[in-house]
Structure formats: C-alpha cells, structure tokens
Amino acid sequence: MAEVEAGGDEGRCVRLNAERAQELLADVDTVLFDCDGVLWRGETAVAGAPETLTALRARGKRLGFITNNSSKTREAYAEKLRRLGFGGPTGPGAGSEVFGTAYCTALYLHQRLTGPPAPKAYVLGSVALAAELEAVGVSCVGVGPEPLQGDGPSAWLDEPLEPDVRAVVVGFDPHFSYMKLTKAVRYLQQPGCLLVGTNMDNRLPLENGRFIAGTGCLVRAVEMAAQRQADIIGKPSRFIFDCVSQEYGINPERTIMVGDRLDTDILLGVTCGLKTILTLTGVSTLRDVKSNQESDCLSKKKMVPDFYVDSIADLLPALQG
C-alpha cells in the first residue's frame, strides 16, 4: 500500500522516513517496544533490529520492553534480549527494562490479595508466571499437565480442590486441558475469587509467517465457562503502562510506543497519550490500518498509529546521520 493510501484525514499513519524520524526522536526520551513480531520472530532477530537498539542506546534514549507474553520471567526476557544482540543491563536487576505480563500480573495480585488468608492462585500458565507470582508472595497451584481423572463429569467434579485459592490466573499454557478448565470454573464459583488474564492476544507470531493460538483463546474459554469477565493485565490495558510509568517516571509526551499489533500496542499508545509507530514485521498490516481509518466504529478509529515502518531497522539512517 502506498504512503498516500495509508494516511488518514488527520495525517496519521505516515511512513516514517529518515527526516521525520530525526525530528521525532529529537523530542523523545523513552522508546517502548513490543518484542514478538517487532524485535524478533520466535528465536530469530528481525534483521537490523539489534543495530537499531544499539544506536538508540548510544543516543541516550531510555528503552523499555512491554510484552504480553507471560511465558518468561523478566530475567529470562533480559537474557534473550542480550543473546539476540539487543544489549541491556546485566547482573542483579538485569530485567529492569522488561515489563512482561507475568511480572505485572504479580504486581496486580500483590495489590488485590491483601489480608488473610495468605494469597494463593490457581495458575493456568507457565512455570515463569508462577515464579513471578511467588516472588511477591502469591503461592501457586495448577502449573503443568493436568489430565482428566475418572470416568465422567461426576468424577471430574469430585476431584479435590486446594483450600484458600483466591484467584484464577490464565496465561499462556501449552498444558491447557478440560480438567484445568473444570477446576478453574469450580474455583471461580467460590466467593471473592478473582479471574485474571495476562492478555487477550489471539495469536503469537513465529518465524516464516507461522503462528500459534494465543492466550486470549484460553482466557475466553474460562470466561465463557465461568460466565465471568477477566481482569486483563496486558496491552491494551492501562495497568501494564502504569507499571512502566511508576518505575520509569515516564512523560507520555516524550515517549514512543513501537509495536506490530493495532489492537494491543498501538491502542495502548493512543490510550496513554504516547506517539505510536507500527512496524510491519508482525501481525497487523496497512490494509488493517486502512480498514480502521474507514470504519464507522470509534474504537477502531483509535487503532491507527501516527507512523509506520517496514521494520524498526528503518530508523537506522536517522540514528546514523
């Protein structure tokens, strides 16, 4: 799609060439990046992306990484950033640039599960998600495979539940099963039990244009079965940005959000008053942008970035000039 086709009536979604990028970056202190589909696909860095981040660091820009992926701890994400050539802090506090939904979900539960009994969560998610929860004092049950027990529904409902579970947390869980769904619903029938979803992404992009089902598919299953609406932590929820803002002291007017999804990254940026850049190396396309611009739906019209690039490597000429 040509640049003239991408721009809307308000001049949004303009191709970010070197001259515009230089002007934009001159007024920016902080650049926030999504990870999957922006910096890398699976285990492969996007070409030119490591060099772009190195150049941004050299220019004194503060970097932050906001990911909806709950399958890694902050430290594990920091290690991946370094391993793929993106740099970043080392040693204690190495994960301080990373704001993943596992970490931010832990902060949320730490705020909500005050008072007795001691906080405990039934976790449909990864070992990493459980580790972040336990780091703030929330004990976890349910992680790992959980096959059906017994001959039918009566036996499934007779399976004992852990006492004092005060929240059901749904993250990325390759071991998601009907037994886990049944237990989650039973816990949620107990008074005061919270339902928390790490994010609502419907798919996770991998290498070569492939993808797998995302956490949002699992959250929807639990919501439908329990007839409850989950509290969502990740983008576009403002809570995850508030986590970043509290630790970074961000000035929204001097901050950019860079992402590959209109419905998470770009919507978060628009909602929080940030400048936004869509990169075309992940999920959303310029066709999606044009559809949103032409929509009569006000919520879709918000999902339009200020600028777009084919890849974040397009920022390099502005940084090297």
Determine whether 288 is an active site residue.
no
Nearest-angstrom CA–CA distance, 244 and 117: 29
Q: Is 306 annotated as a binding residue?
A: no
Q: Is 183 annotated as a binding residue?
A: no
Q: Is 34 annotated as a binding residue?
A: yes
Q: Is 235 annotated as a binding residue?
A: yes
**Pick the catalytic residue: 9, 27, 36, 201?**
36
Burial class (CB in 10 A: 0-12, 13-18, 19+), 61: middle
**The dihedral of CA 29, 34, 37, 40: what is its sign?**
positive
Nearest-angstrom CA–CA distance, 128 and 244: 20
Determine whether 164 is an active site residue.
no
Nearest-angstrom CA–CA distance, 202 and 194: 22
**Pick the catalytic residue: 34, 173, 265, 314?**
34
Active-site annotation, residues: 34, 36
Residues belonging to the binding site for substrate are 235
Bind-site residues? 34, 36, 235, 260
Give the residue ranges of the annotated binding site for Mg(2+): 34, 36, 260
